[in-house]
Amino acid sequence: MKDRLEALKAEALEKIHASSDLKELQAIKVEYLGKKGPITEVLKGMGKLSAEERPVVGAYANEVRDGIQQGLDAKSAELEEAEIAKRLAEETIDVSLPGRPAKKGSSHPLTSVVEEIEDLFLSMGFTIAEGPEVETDYYNFEALNLPKDHPARDMQDSFFVTEEFLLRTQTSPVQARTMLKHEGQGPVKIISPGKVYRRDNDDATHSHQFMQIEGLVVDKNVRLSDLKGVLETFAKKMFGEDRKIRLRPSFFPFTEPSVEMDISCFKCGGKGCSICKHTGWIEILGAGMVHPNVLEMAGFDSKEYTGFAFGMGPERIAMLKYGIDDIRHFYANDIRFLKQFRNV
């Protein structure tokens, strides 16, 4: 019986040594150590042995079983290491190869212009104020000296949500809200950037959605000359120190007097070209002294406080600054267009 066990051990170890994968090794384990294996069959014949032989054969059988198991464990570890080494070799990354460069994005040209304007006015002591894009009729119109029957409302075709709520047509409501928060006490010195909406037919120069940046200063003894100084500084910083400005009379319901500001053409220096339509001047923004009615509705004493306001379209400024010929480029998400402004 011991000879039979010894032969089985030698046979099993030989097969274990010759095995080439873990699946084959598992089959050998089941063949020799399973319940129906030859070692189990040998042990079933121990009943025929004498009482003195049984413990000896039993102990030897356990040694054989342990020897085979040790052989299985050792071979299993060897095969697992070989499998890992094989996978590492197959999946090796050659770190000496140059990597694929990650494509870097950049700020949208419109965002760059807005941030440039914001930084400029922040440097002049202004703060940034924001407000809701869905606005009430009162703040969008009435608080700005535009009662419900005012004909100037026809200039701004609006997206009304209800009879009292609409998508704001300008960022001027932020000015009204800010003045109310001050409860009639100056100074107020803000700019209010943001998106505005008007029912317009989209073309090269018009969009139903566009950006607007408005500014407001309210304090004692604020004069039109102060407005001119601020706008002149803005024009020189945005378009060049040799820029000149001119103010033309205009009309806005919320300012009196009202002006349009032009800058001398930065392309031709005022001599006349296609950009300035051969006038030497380019219209940039509208402005004026805050109407006394607007001050009074916001809680300010118009006999004690005065102020000025201005409003500009960043799209127009960006189009002039970078020679963009169609406002729709800003909203088309065309990567070919946006790539041109990586280094701006």
- Cα separation of 159 and 153, whole Å? 12
- Cα separation of 322 and 11, whole Å? 86
> Which of 277, 282, 279, 287 minimizes the C-alpha distance to 239?
282
Q: Which residues of 141-164 are buried (b: 16+ CB within 10 A; e: fewer)?
A: bebbbbeeeeeebeebebeeeeee
The DSSP symbol for 98 reads P
> Which of 147, 142, 167 minimizes the C-alpha distance to 298?
142
Which residues, 6+ apart, have CB-to-CB distance to 269 below 8 Å?
A: 242
241 in a known ligand binding site:
no
Are 32 and 65 in contact, with CB atoms under 8 Å apart?
no
Taking CA atoms, 313 is separated from 119, 152, 160, 205, 343, in Å, by 16, 20, 22, 11, 23
Are 93 and 192 in contact, with CB atoms under 8 Å apart?
no
> Which of 189, 190, 209, 191 minimizes the C-alpha distance to 199?
209
> Which of 126, 139, 134 minimizes the C-alpha distance to 172?
139
Q: How many CB atoms sit inside 10 A of residue 137's CB?
A: 18
Taking CA atoms, 33 is separated from 2, 3, 24, 55, in Å, by 17, 17, 14, 20
Q: Token match 């943001």: residue? A: 194
Q: Provide DSSP, 55-93.
A: HHHHHHHHHHHHHHHHHHHHHHHHHHHHHHHHHHHHT--
Q: Which residues are annotated as a binding site?
A: 256
Q: Which residues are annotated as a binding site for Mg(2+)?
A: 256
